[in-house]
Structure 1
Amino acid sequence: MEPESTLTTCYRHPKVESHVRCTRCDRFICPGCMREAAVGHQCPECVREGARSVRQARTAFGGRISAVPLVTYVLIGLNVLAYVGELVRPAIVDRFEMLGAGLVGPDGGHYLWQASYPAELHVEGVVDGEWYRLLTGAFLHLPPTGGTFGILHIVMNMVSLWNIGRMVEAQLGRVRYLALYLLSALGGSVLVLLIAPYDPTLGASGAIFGLGAAYWVLARRLGADMAQVNRFMAGLLLWLVISAAMTSWEGHLGGLLTGGAVTLAYAYAPRDGRRALVQAGACAVLLILLVACAWAKVTELTGAR
């Protein structure tokens, strides 16, 4: 009689001899299947199963912790890319800047809106169904020799986005942060539409003012030392007042108020299984409110024709 074979092989590679067991499922695994564990080795299947069962680390506001401010990088990249596009093709500004209502002539000239206008003029702006302007204007900036600030317009905005955005993104996580940024940009444009619908505006300032408000709300909710934060907020509000004569204060204020409202919902949502739902619901309600306000204003303007 032949002796019983004591040869053991890897459960994933039956032709490979193995004498090591997975510490989790107790099956034999070969060197190619071994994965380092806290004690011994585990097989690839057990490692994957363990990864699924491990709870992802979250910030105090429900966002996933990430060491890389990816969304801030992308937003800066999009603004710079749009700026390069403006330099190559200046007509992009007229086509995509925020404008509630305006008129354009057959020669391409732009004219101030009026309820009654000659037949050769055509309507442009949000009142002509160009709703995208409510967001695209937030990614455009003054040309190098344009307006009061010129190229400093995009430089100051991108430096501010870099400094504030990284801190806010680290606390909120990427999804919540992106929603905050876009809603703040939209809120700034909507207030421009409501108060100054005939003024063309552009720039990321409204969204950045929203991030500034978010920074203050988050710091207060976390119990941070508010002395420095309050000085920052006072400087932001002072700049809003000082720059009112040179920039669109409506866009700045709209972004500030919207960003503050969104972050209040993020910060004070219940810390249980309902948190994500409450936060998303608050963003949805605010989005509906902004769209409704814009729609009502457009209806008022078009109804006056």
Structure 2
Amino acid sequence: MDQAVCCYRHPDRETGIRCTRCDKPICPDCMVSASVGFQCPDCVRQGSGHTPRQRTVAGGVVAHDPFLITKILIALNVAVFALELAVGERIVSDLGLYAACTPKQFPPQQCIGVADGEWYRVITSAFLHDRSNFAHIGFNMLSLWWIGAPLERLLGRSRYIVLYLISALAGSATVLLITPDTLTLGASGAIFGLFGATAVFMRRLRYDMRPILILLVLNVVFSFTWPNVSWQAHMGGLLAGTAVAIAMAYAPRERRNAVQWGTAAGVLVLTVVLTAIAVVQVTS
């Protein structure tokens, strides 16, 4: 008569299932589905512990969908634009970027926008677009897909979203410093940060830089010559995105995280300080 085989973790449970790696008997509660058959918990832990996670050139984790964040950003921008079409100018006035105060010699002083403490406008404005100009959101979203998607694959999700948001904030800070009382909308500041980062990584990987340089020069010329375009946001985003990307591309491997995240934090603090200076200038 054959002796009963019991689970190696539960001796009171008979089983006919064995781990495909170590051949130990396992009960239904212990078996873990594998590509072929089932494995025991010990083999699963050993396998996950010895399998290194794939990393991007910047040290980020290689994701199953390397373009997920770009898709989400595009979806958010399009959703907000649809809300603008449905609600009208109200959402623009409530979330757009501006800061203004009446002169102090005419008390009581009245302040609006960021100058009135509505700091959220520095980021919400980056998801708004001119609802009367479909080319505005169309060009920005195409640029975000063409430039952002390959960059997200190079950086990994966390580094990519940090780069995008810091570029957007830097663009807003520059606008507030130079033209605080002008209503400003759009993702262009963040996208220019992606342009700068793309140039940095093409240099780092020794790719032919002529295509991105030509595209960047054309966009810079466009920023200064086309009417109703915020060159301030473009230049602020470009400078911030380039600075963060240099740290992400050239950080030494042994101190990579410290250099990358330290630089990002430093640029973020600088944008907050510049925004605060802009608010003080408006209110004084």
Q: Is the shorter-chain TM-score for this pair beyond 0.5, marking a shared fold?
A: yes
Q: Matched residues in 1 for 2:19 and 2:228: separation?
A: 72
Structure 1 residues 240 and 27: CA distance shift in structure 2, 3 A: same
Distance 2:197 2:19 in 1: 52
Contact kept in structure 1, 2:128 and 2:185, CA below 8 Å? yes
What is the distance in 2 between the residues matched to 1:156 and 1:232? 13
Amino acid at match of 1:92: I
Residue 99 of structure 2 contacts residue 113 of structure 2 at CA under 8 Å; is this kept in 1? yes
Q: Rg bigger for which structure?
A: 1
- Tell me if the contact between 2:193 and 2:239 (Cα under 8 Å) persists in the aligned partners: yes
Q: Among 250, 253, 262, which residue is 1:281 paired with?
A: 262
Alignment partner of 1:284: what SS? Answer: helix
What runs of 5+ residues in structure 2 fail to find an aligned partner?
none
Query: How many Å separate the matches in 2 of 1:136 and 1:8?
Result: 63
Say which SS state the counterpart of residue 99 (structure 2) adopts.
coil
What's the TM-score once normalised by structure 1's chain length? 0.83
Residue in structure 2 matched with residue 105 of structure 1 by the alignment? none
1:8 aligned onto 2:5: yes
Give the match's secondary structure for 1:62: coil
Check 1:82–1:116 CA distance in 2 against 1; reply closer, same or farther (3 A cut). farther
For the pair 1:140 / 2:128, whether they are aligned, the reply is yes
SS of the counterpart of 1:29? coil
Is 1:58 aligned with 2:55? yes
For the 8 Å contact 1:138–1:202, the answer to whether it is kept is: yes
For residues 102-156 of structure 1, give each alpha carbon's deviation from its aligned partner in whole angstroms, at most 9, with x where no partner exists: 5xxxxxxxxxx5444465x832011111111111111101013xxxxx1111111
Q: Distance in 2 between matches of 1:34 and 1:177?
A: 34
2:251 corresponds to: 269
Alpha-carbon deviation of 1:205? 0.6
SS in 2 for 1:7: coil
Q: 1:79 aligns to what SS in structure 2?
A: helix
Q: Is residue 91 of structure 1 aligned with residue 84 of structure 2? A: no
Q: 1:262 to 1:21 in 2, by over 3 A?
A: closer
Residue identity opposite 2:93 in structure 1: D
CA distance in 1, matches of 2:76, 2:57: 29
Preserved CA contact (<8 Å) 2:115 2:282: yes
Change over 3 Å in CA distance of 1:293–1:27 after alignment to 2: same
Deviations along 1:33-87, one digit per CA (max 9) or x if unpaired, are 375579x963244214421432110011111112421111111111112112212
The reply to whether residue 219 of structure 1 matches residue 192 of structure 2 is: no
Aligned-partner Cα distance in 2 for 1:115–1:162: 46
Three-state SS of the structure 2 residue aligned to 1:164 is: helix
* CA drift at 1:22: 5.2
Aligned residues: 280
RMSD, aligned α-carbons: 2.5
| Alignment partner, residue 208 of structure 1 | 191
Q: Distance between the aligned counterparts of 1:271 and 1:295, measured in 2?
A: 35
Q: Does 1:125 align with 2:147?
A: no
Q: What's the offset of the Cα at 1:276?
A: 1.2
Q: What is the match of residue 235 of structure 2?
A: 253
Contact kept, 8 Å, 2:99 with 2:282, in 1: the verdict is no
Could you say which residue in structure 2 is the equivalent of 1:147?
A: none
Identity of aligned residues (%): 43
Q: 1:136 to 1:28 in 2, by over 3 A?
A: same
2:99 paired residue number: 100
**Equivalent residue, structure 2, for 1:107:** none
Contact 2:173 2:271 in 1 (8 A): yes
Structure-2 change in CA distance of 1:35 and 1:134 (3 Å): closer
AA matched with 2:124: T
Structure 2-normalised TM-score? Answer: 0.89
How do 1:25-36 residues align onto structure 2 when only pairs under 5 Å count?
27-29=24-26, 33=31, 35-36=33-34
Which consecutive residues of structure 1, in runs of 5 or more, have no partner in the other structure?
103-112, 145-149
